[in-house]
Structure 1
Amino acid sequence: MRMHVFNRIREGVVAHDPYFDCKEDTLGKLGFSSYQKCTVAIRMLAYGIPGDLVDEYVRMSESTCLLSLYSFCMAVVEVFGPEYLREPNSTDTERLLAINVERGFPGMLGSIVGQYKGHVKGATLILEAVASQDLWIWDSFFGMAGSHNNISILQQSPVFARLAEGHSPEVNFEVKSHHYNKGCYLADGIFPQWSTLVKTIPNPQGEKRQRFAQMQESARKDVESAFGVLHSRQGIVCNPALTWSTKKLWEVMTVCVIMHNMIVEDERDDSIYDQGFDFQGENPEPEHPLPANFEQFVEFH
């Protein structure tokens, strides 16, 4: 990441958590600075290394390096999570729809996929994510252990929770004179036959079906590209976990997604901000002020 992004993160965690302040002991000796603590945390996340491999670089003990890492993760999630883990608001939804209409997929809000490693030979935790063409990760669901596939993950994922509760921004579009009021996501063949999921055509026959399958599979690579960039920037997500705490694992994965989105935002062209990429505030207010009752929930679902 660029220096100003690092400084923004450092200033945010220092203002949020007193642990990152440079303090004096009883003898008046200065302790570790916020630069040292943030540097060791980001290096451990970027390279996926344990604390004893970076302690000499920052002149800190292994235990202090680990404490700095987990304190850094908690602070980043609390400070930057509401902005960089937000669900698409009305402005984001309009922009995503406009971009994907030009790509030939009206009503598309992104691509969805689950990724894991060690499905057969070892324990694993699966990350399900929704990403758009600009590599921004709009939704992440992490923490299910054991042997799963995309169907079992989707049944527990909150990706469609707002839609089922009637709190999602409105999406209206037409395809061949058919009106639709739900946004859709591109998915692979294992996902269920839902109206919110657009899958490819297996063994397409005819030029039109082959063309659709080709375009769908090409556009679906957005989320796989986002995973690839995430892996290249945050090496810790590619290595076996070094802790047994699922809470710490969730915090580490979440902070990797947050910093990924921060870097994506920073590296975009300046002209793209005119299309509504800036943070527009909190998530939109629900369309229904009160929680949906059982009949409304069934209808939405």
Structure 2
Amino acid sequence: MVATVAIVLDANTRFNARRRRGSVPGRQVINRDIAAGHARLFKDYFARHPVYGPSYFRRRFQMSRPLFLRIVKAVREHDSYFVRKRNAAGKLGLSSLQKATAVFRMLTYGVAADDTDEYVRIGGSTALDSMKAFVRAIIEVFGDEYLRAPNEADTARLLAIGESRGFPGMLAEGQAPEVNFTVNGNNYTMGYYLADGIYPQWATLVKTIPSPLGQKNKYFAKCQEAHRKDVERAFGVLQARFAIVRGQHGRKGYSISCTDG
């Protein structure tokens, strides 16, 4: 299974220019009281005895607090954009918790960037900048571990799972080296994927039998349709947790697409 959630980012030059810019002429200046926003957020979720405990945190952030803090720490150490700084007037800016919370609210609930302002105290354009920087940092920090193609050990494990389900040679994700297996006395050297009718007629894609006749064909169709659901079930979990995965929302600033193979 390959599951990709691609967030469309602006060009790096434009993004970096936005991170360096000063006040924009004609823009309304809002005193958001950023420090108070951070203090409230910290008291609500990150204090030793928070207002909202672990069950509330997991429900609202779709992960445990330790995992969230691990991600924020890694992102902050990777990109100084998430390090809290003082501006020219000596006032503290947004904290990494505020920027990350705004990002997760957009990912989890599919809200527009501006909708995070009232609670997090972060402007819409800054929330979008945070999203872009966060996604880029996640790819750069965790990509080699969690976004990589399967290695030889992964492939062997996936092939074993497929064979235990009655489909020797079936792959669950990624590209694999040569695969050798025998079915009904015939030798095969190419792995394959279980797919539905929307996919092209390729030798590596094994589809179900439409309107199967006979017990043999009915049994095959039943097994094929049951085991090809792995990708769909995985997306079901992601969609239940993160609204952004459910499709394009028409929100300004980001769009996503999901593909599986």
- The reply to whether residue 42 of structure 1 matches residue 104 of structure 2 is yes
CA shift digits 1:169-215 (9 cap, x unpaired): 23221111212122110011232332211111111111011000001
1:1-301 correspondence runs (5 A): 1-110=63-172, 138=173, 168-238=176-246, 239-243=248-252, 249=255
Deviation of residue 253 (structure 1)?
5.2
**Tell me, what secondary structure is at the counterpart of 2:171?**
strand
Could you tell me how far apart the structure 2 residues matched to 1:15 and 1:220 are?
40
TM-score, structure 2 as length reference: 0.69
Could you tell me how far apart the structure 1 residues matched to 2:85 and 2:181 are?
58
Could you tell me how far apart the structure 2 residues matched to 1:192 and 1:69 are?
36
The letter for the 2-side match of 1:232 is A
Could you tell me how far apart the structure 1 residues matched to 2:208 and 2:227 are?
11
Contact in 1 for aligned 2:112/2:252 (Cα 8 Å): no
Contact in 2 for aligned 1:20/1:34 (Cα 8 Å): yes
The letter for the 2-side match of 1:212 is F
Contact in 1 for aligned 2:181/2:189 (Cα 8 Å): yes
Q: Which has the higher strand share?
A: 1
Identity of aligned residues (%): 53
Deviation of residue 241 (structure 1)?
3.3
**Tell me, what secondary structure is at the counterpart of 2:190?**
coil
**Residues 62 and 243 (structure 1), Cα distance of their counterparts in 2 relative to 1, 3 Å cut:** closer
Deviation of residue 27 (structure 1)?
3.2
CA shift digits 1:271-292 (9 cap, x unpaired): xxxxxxxxxxxxxxxxxxxxxx
Q: Which runs of 5+ in 2 are unaligned?
A: 1-62
Contact in 2 for aligned 1:200/1:217 (Cα 8 Å): yes
TM-score, structure 1 as length reference: 0.61
CA shift digits 1:111-151 (9 cap, x unpaired): xxxxxxxxxxxxxxxxxxxxxxxxxxx46xxxxxxxxxxxx
**Residues 70 and 253 (structure 1), Cα distance of their counterparts in 2 relative to 1, 3 Å cut:** farther
RMSD, matched Cα: 2.0
Which position in structure 2 is the counterpart of 1:125?
A: none
Pick the structure with greater CA Rg. Answer: 2
The letter for the 2-side match of 1:225 is R
Contact in 2 for aligned 1:237/1:253 (Cα 8 Å): yes
Which position in structure 2 is the counterpart of 1:143?
A: none
- Structure 1 residue runs of 4 or more that deviate by more than 6 Å after TM superposition: none
Contact in 1 for aligned 2:110/2:249 (Cα 8 Å): no
Contact in 2 for aligned 1:89/1:169 (Cα 8 Å): no
**Residues 44 and 64 (structure 1), Cα distance of their counterparts in 2 relative to 1, 3 Å cut:** same
Which position in structure 1 is the counterpart of 2:23?
A: none
Aligned residues: 196
The letter for the 2-side match of 1:44 is M
Deviation of residue 48 (structure 1)?
0.1
Deviation of residue 72 (structure 1)?
1.0
